[in-house]
Homo-oligomer: A and B are copies of this chain.
Amino acid sequence: MTTLADCRALDAQDPLRALRDQFTIPEGVLYLDGNSLGVMPKAAPARIAEVVTKEWGEGLIRSWNTASWFDLPQRLGDKVARLIGATPGEVVCTDSTSVNLYKVLFAALSQQKDSGRKLVISERSNFPTDLYIAESLCRERGFTLKLIDASELQGPDSVLTEEVAVLMLTHVNYRTGAMHDMKAVTAAAHAVGALTVWDLAHSAGAVPVALNDSNADYAIGCGYKYLNGGPGAPAFAWVHTKHAGEFEQPLSGWWGHAAPFEFTPHYRPAPGVGRYLCGTQPIIALAGLECGLDTVLAAESFNGDHGAMSALRAKSLALTDMFIRLVEERCAGHGLSLVTPREHEQRGSQVCLSREEGAYAIVQALIARGVIGDYRAGDSQMPDILRFGFTPLYIGFEDVWNSVEHLVQVLETAEWKREEFNRKNAVT
A111 within 8 A of B: no
A306 within 8 A of B: no
Q: Determine the chain B residues whose CB is within 8 A of the CB of A102 once the complex forms.
A: 250-251
A56 within 8 A of B: yes
Are B132 and A253 interface neighbours, CB within 8 A? yes
Which stretch (A152-160, A186-194, A258-266, A403-411) binds chain B? Answer: A258-266
Instruction: State the CA gap A16–B375 with chains docked (Å).
Output: 51
Are A377 and B132 interface neighbours, CB within 8 A? no
Q: Determine the chain B residues whose CB is within 8 A of the CB of A264 once the complex forms.
A: 128
Which stretch (A58-66, A76-84, A327-335, A416-424) binds chain B? Answer: A58-66
Q: Determine the chain B residues whose CB is within 8 A of the CB of A147 once the complex forms.
A: 265
Q: Determine the chain B residues whose CB is within 8 A of the CB of A374 once the complex forms.
A: 61
State which residues 43-66 of A face B: CB under 8 Å: 44-45, 48-49, 52-53, 55-58, 60-63
Which stretch (A161-169, A211-219, A227-235, A351-359) binds chain B? Answer: A227-235
Which stretch (A90-98, A236-244, A310-318, A336-344) binds chain B? Answer: A90-98
Known: A69-B231, A131-B266, A235-B279. A254 touches B52 (CB 8 A): no
Are A288 and B278 interface neighbours, CB within 8 A? no
Q: Among B39, B128, B252, B283, which residue has its beta carbon within 8 angstroms of that of A230?
A: B283
Of A26, A96, A124, A262, chain B has the most CB atoms within 10 Å of the CB of A96
Q: Which residue in chain B gives the minimum CB-CB distance to A235?
A: B279
Which positions in A face B, CB cutoff 8 Å?
24, 26, 29, 31, 33, 36-37, 39-40, 44-45, 48-49, 52-53, 55-58, 60-63, 69, 95-99, 102, 124, 128-129, 131-133, 135-137, 140, 147, 224, 230-235, 249-255, 257, 262-267, 278-286, 288, 367, 372, 374, 376-377
Enumerate the 5 nearest inter-chain pairs by beta-carbon distance, A residue then B residue, closest first: A96-B279, A98-B279, A98-B253, A129-B254, A132-B267
